[in-house]
Amino acid sequence: MKKKVGILTWHYYPNFGSALQAYALYSYLNIHGCETFIINYVVGKRPALWKIRLFASFFDALIPRVLSSKIHYRFLNFEHKYLKETQLVRTYEDLEYVVRSFDTVICGSDQIWAPNVLNENYLLPFVPDNIRKVSYAASIGLPTIPKDKRVLYKKSLSRFFAVSVRERQGQEILKNEIGISSTVVLDPTLLLDRKEWLSIARYRCHTPYILCYFLGRNRNHRQMTQEFAQKTRLPVLCLSRFPEDKTWGWNVDEDAGPQEFVGYVDNASYVITDSFHGTCFSINLGKDFYVVNRFTPEDPINQNSRIANILSLFGLENRLIDKIPGDVTSINYGVVQERLHEEREKSHCFLQQSIGLG
């Protein structure tokens, strides 16, 4: 009999990383024989444009880009196309009801445990003791858990069958600050290999380009990208909804969805990003890339540790830059892919043991 598994994560935001990490964990579990559902937990009210997005998601090819860039319906289209979801869940009581049929509930990935944005439901208090509670690649994001929240974290995580986190820094925080042991695993997007990702990719540009994907608005990072474009004599293709990015003379795509994102990374000659998932996909798809820190060291919500962690894991610390390098070098992906295979096997093993597969 198939294990019935529910995943509670950030799945409905119009954000490439959130959508694709949810898809990856869902797909991995289904591939390995689970009957998997995304717990369709939406905090608060649906956005005002949700009904329009829902309607538009069924007419993907007919919606002009100028409109689709405003309603972000491609994310909802992706969600409905690839994820089996529970009924819409909004309250604690709804959560209690919807999990009753699951053998295991998994929370993660993404920064669901970041103290500055914590929703306690992502610590699974509504899941009864007869159902396994597992975290997969949950991220704390910040350098510490505030003292006034440590009792909550400890009490909640002590009920888990297995705890895993995405960064070694998170593992140390849980151990040192609340006495909880955990396993470091790969981000869900790295559970799937290149072939699996390309099976859903959509391509909009087939000529050489530098892919620019920034979540921050640092002008210096744009200037670096411009310098890199001049150095390599390649045009810049930018995934952005920031109006100022149109002023650089780049080709800006405002309405790409998750599938287009995968295609853009795969077809890029180089990637320049400040995004954790931009970095993950660059590594997984074997791209030459450079990454910049989005946060300053003194920022109270500094989340740079996740970038440092993923680069260190694969020996790619030199791809983190604060200026354009004098020599543009290629990455030795033979070594990187060997390490990725090893880490992927460890993560697969964690999931299979935690859920009770095989």
Chain segment 14-27, per-residue pLDDT in tens? 899 999 999 999 99
Q: What is the pLDDT of residue 318?
A: 96
pLDDT at 12: 83
Residue 88 or residue 55, greater confidence: 88
Predicted confidence at residue 74, as pLDDT, reads 82
Q: Encoding tokens for residue 99?
A: 């999990």
More confident: 143 or 120: 120
How many CB atoms neighbour CB 44 within 10 A? 6
Rounded to the nearest 10 degrees, the angle between the axes of helix 333-355 and helix 276-284 is: 110
Reported as a single tens digit per residue, the pLDDT across 268-327 is 999 999 999 999 999 999 999 999 998 766 666 656 778 999 999 999 999 999 999 989
What's phi and psi for 136, nearest 5 deg? -125, 115
Question: Mind listing the domains of the chain with CATH numbers?
Answer: 4-191+342-355 (3.40.50), 201-331 (3.40.50.2000)
Q: Distance between CA atoms of 183 and 127, rounded to whole angstroms?
A: 21
Neighbours of 260 (CB within 10 A): 20
Q: Is the peptide bond before 269 cis (omega within 30 degrees of 0)?
A: no
Within the chain, what is the greatest distance between any pair of CA atoms? 60
Question: Rounded mean pLDDT of the chain?
Answer: 91
The confidence score (pLDDT) of residue 76 equals 81
pLDDT at 358 over 70: no
> E strand or H helix at 259, and its extent?
helix 258-267
Which of 25-34, 118-127, 288-297 is least confident? 288-297
List the beta bridge partners of residue 38.
Answer: 7, 85
* Token pair for 153: 């974290």
Q: Would you state the pLDDT for residue 63?
A: 62
**Can you tell me the mean pLDDT for 28-36?**
96
Cβ atoms of 30 and 82 closer than 8 Å: no
Whole-structure pTM over 0.75, yes or no? yes
Query: Can you tell me the distance from the alpha carbon of 182 to that of 189, in angstroms, rounded to the nearest whole number?
Result: 20
pLDDT for 301 equals 64
CA 126 centroid distance within chain: 25
**What pLDDT is attached to residue 195?**
97
Q: Which residue has the higher pLDDT, 106 or 77?
A: 106
